[in-house]
Amino acid sequence: MRRGIPLAITFLIGLFMLVDFFVPHYRVSDLAGEMKQWGTIVIAASILLGVGNLIRVHFHKIRRRRDGWQYSITTLLIMAVMFAFGGPWGTIQEGSAFNWMFLNMQVPLQSTMFSLLAFFIASAAYRAFRLRSAESGLLLTAAIIVMLGRVPLGQLLTRALPEQATLPWLTETIMAYPNMAAFRGILMGAALGVMAMGLRVILGIERSYLGGEK
């Protein structure tokens, strides 16, 4: 029962979504639309569950005085402040304290965190772009063209050349054609993989999402 019911639910819902695709009746599509809405709400609930789990982990860390517990106080405190500013009144409104916190704390802090990756990605680029083989030569050439073509320097370096020899034009061409062709292939391969996995899930062959316990 513990595994049978969720497997049956998965089968029925999966089958219904398939039926919705092939049966264009308004009652079927209305119910399918409602179910899609349920999925969105379950996702939202799972995000809140994740936040709840984060609170639990940090709370335990503080209670047991584990290594670095003082930082957990920071996390819980700022989370409480953020919730206090936004929780009772709702989403972003111009001039609200929640909006101020979002614009002056979350956005700059996250962008600084991501910009930190610039240093690590530079070291990764050094390893990836080394000219070890013919293929890595292509990788290097395409990356250099795209990197230069995206900045004013690239435009400056090739401004005397005809348009079709400028770095911005080459960048656009690479992104629009060889890059597009390759990523379409990957996208289609991934879509076929998703379909195979979907079939396995609906038929109950794939059960890893149920977890390890009985």
Partner 1 sequence: MTLFWTTIGAILTLSIYSFLYKDNPFYKFAEHLVVGVSAGYYLVIYYWNYIDPNVVTPVFLLRVGADRIPLLGMDWWMALIPGILGLLLYMRFFPKVAWVGRWPLGIYVGGYAGLGLSPIMQARVITQLGANALPLAGVEDPFAAMTNLVLGISIFAVMTYLFVAKRSMGAGNKLVRAGVIVLAAVIGYVGYLALSLLSNAGVVSLTNILLVVGLLGTLSYFFFSMKHKGLLGGLARVGIVFLMVGFGASFGYTVMSRISLLIGRVGFLLHDWLHLID
Name all contacts of 174-177 with Cβ < 8 Å and 24+ positions apart: 174/142, 174/145, 174/146, 175/146
Smallest distance, partner 1 to C-beta of residue 171, A: 8
Among 28, 155, 157, 198, binds partner 1 (CB under 8 A): 198
H or E element that contains 3: none
By CB under 8 A, residue 165 contacts partner 1 = yes
Among 23, 131, 153, 156, binds partner 1 (CB under 8 A): 131
State the CB neighbour count (10 A cutoff) for residue 149.
22
Residue in 44, 36, 30 with CA at minimum distance from that of residue 14: 36
- How far apart (Å, rounded) are the C-alpha atoms in residues 32 and 12? 12
Among 23, 25, 138, 156, binds partner 1 (CB under 8 A): 138
* Smaller CB separation from partner 1, 19 or 159: 19
Among 29, 66, 116, 159, binds partner 1 (CB under 8 A): 116
By CB under 8 A, residue 192 contacts partner 1 = yes
Count of residues interacting with partner 1 (CB under 8 A): 133
- How far apart (Å, rounded) are the C-alpha atoms in residues 11 and 5? 10
Cα angle for residues 158, 161, 162 (degrees, 5° grid) = 125
Amino acid letter at 207? Answer: R
Contacts of 179 by beta carbon, 8 Å cutoff, 6+ apart: 142
Among 3, 60, 66, 159, binds partner 1 (CB under 8 A): 3
| CB of 143 closer than 8 Å to CB of 129 | yes
Among 135, 160, 205, 212, binds partner 1 (CB under 8 A): 135
- Taking residues 61 to 100 in sequence order and writing x for each that binds partner 1 by CB under 8 A, - otherwise, the string is -------x--xx-xxxxxxxxxx--xx--xx------x--
Footprint on residues 9-48 left by partner 1 (CB under 8 A): 9-18, 20-22, 34-48
Among 25, 29, 60, 110, binds partner 1 (CB under 8 A): 110
* Smaller CB separation from partner 1, 121 or 159: 121
- Strand, helix or coil for residue 180: helix
* Smaller CB separation from partner 1, 56 or 66: 56
